[in-house]
Amino acid sequence: MPPLPLQGLSAIVTGAGRGLGRAEALELARLGAAVVVNDYGQPGRDGRGEASAGPAEEVAAEIRAAGGTALAHTGDVSDFDQARTLVESAVAAFGTLDILVNNAGILRDRMVFSMTEDEWDSVLRVHLKGHFNTTRFAAAHWRERSKRAGEPVFGRIVNTSSEAFLAGSAGQPNYAAAKGGIVGLTTSTALALGKYGVTTNAICPRARTRMTEDVFAGVEQPSGTGLDPLAPEHVAPLVGYLASPAAAHVNGQLLVVHGGMVAVVERPRVAARFDSKQDTFTYDELEAVLGPYYADRPVGETFAAAEVLGLRRG
């Protein structure tokens, strides 16, 4: 039997006690990786409630029952020191860290004119700072290993963005901003770590989880034995591929994934250019060129690619 794609590698998956993170942790284990299942274990999707080791322990036990290797970690990735401990625990348990999947997140939805400071800060802290915290310590680990070895090492980061960033989400200014920030973190990290042998990519998954139960409340699940098009299991294989040696040439990319579909998102391109006929634009000249251009475009139009691919959330 040929070796599994991730045999001998170790991984961290954050937010892995439920939903997408759970499916991703199970998939990495199925592909041969030893997995640290991280989940703070709070019952509310808004990040409220008493933390619990239960969700992480249950998924780790599920992996071990299937013949894999896993341990649970219940630290809060939005805490800098706890993120450090998470990475250190993986290295201590498995000798090294090879794969980091950042998935942990919360929701505190509100229209921008009603949102509180805490609702903004808490979502940015868990999503964006949480992604940074784990990335920072994993990156330092890989850089040190590479310098010690005198050559590139194996490292993979898979970050979790969202279509809320791509196509907009009126009631989620905090979430959309955090997910947009994650894309910026991804592309910057990809450039910084590529020379060390580390790739960094981001996915925009669409899946039915407790985080999206309101969004997909009107989308019925198929009857019978067919897999729900919105099942997290549609997302996990892409994470497994991006975490593997086969994806060494994929770096700094953003991919949308759901229901048996993967779409590669192109970086923004210039749609039109206007040059001043003098040293700098005047108000009247800008009105003369930009006024007609935008007059022919739908109000609030966002990324055309999102519309063409049918990626706008329901």
Q: Is residue 274 part of a domain?
A: no
Band (45; pLDDT cuts 50, 70, 90) = low
pLDDT grade, residue 89 (50/70/90)? very high
Residues 6+ apart with CB under 8 A from 95: 10
Per-residue pLDDT at 181 exceeds 70: yes
Report residue 266 as tokens: 């192109």
Q: Is 162 a catalytic residue?
A: yes
pLDDT (mean) for 166-195? 95
- Total domains in the fold of the chain: 1
The reported pLDDT for the residue numbered 49 is 56
pLDDT value of residue 260: 87
Mean pLDDT value across residues 57-61: 97
Q: Which of 158-167, 197-206, 207-216, 273-282 has the lowest mean pLDDT?
A: 207-216
Provide the token pair at 51: 């933390």
The verdict on residue 302 lying in a domain is no
How many CB atoms sit inside 10 A of residue 250's CB? 17
Residues of the domain holding 129 = 10-265
pLDDT at residue 306 above 50? no
Residue 138, in any domain of the structure: yes
pLDDT at position 303, please? 47
- For residues 203 and 257, the answer to whether their CB atoms sit within 8 Å is yes
Which of 10, 169, 179, 244 is the catalytic position?
A: 179
Has residue 238 been placed in a domain?
yes
- Asked if the structure places residue 224 within a domain, the reply is yes
Q: Residue 32: which region, alpha, beta or left (left: phi > 0; alpha: psi -120 to 50)?
A: left
pLDDT at 214 over 80: no
This prediction has a pTM of 0.89
Q: Which two tokens stand for residue 174?
A: 């905090």
Domain membership of residue 166 (yes or no) is yes
pLDDT at residue 301 in the model = 55
Q: Which residue has better confidence, 285 or 214?
A: 285
* Options 89, 162, 169, 244, the catalytic residue: 162
Residue 224 in this model has a pLDDT that exceeds 70:
no
Query: For the segment 7-27, what is each residue's pLDDT rounded down to a tens digit?
Result: 999 999 999 998 999 999 999
Catalytic residue among 78, 175, 196, 244, which?
Answer: 175
238-250 pLDDT, tens digit each: 999 999 999 999 9
Q: How far is it, in rounded angstroms, from Cα 36 to Cα 188?
A: 25
Is residue 5 domain-resident?
Answer: no
H-only helix segments in the chain = 19-30, 54-65, 80-94, 117-124, 130-149, 163-167, 173-193, 236-242, 283-295, 304-308
Of residues 50 and 288, more confidently modeled: 288
CATH code of the domain in which 200 resides = 3.40.50.720
Answer whether residue 92 is part of any domain.
Answer: yes
The mean of the pLDDT values for the chain is: 88
| Residue 179 annotated as catalytic | yes
Residues in the chain: 314
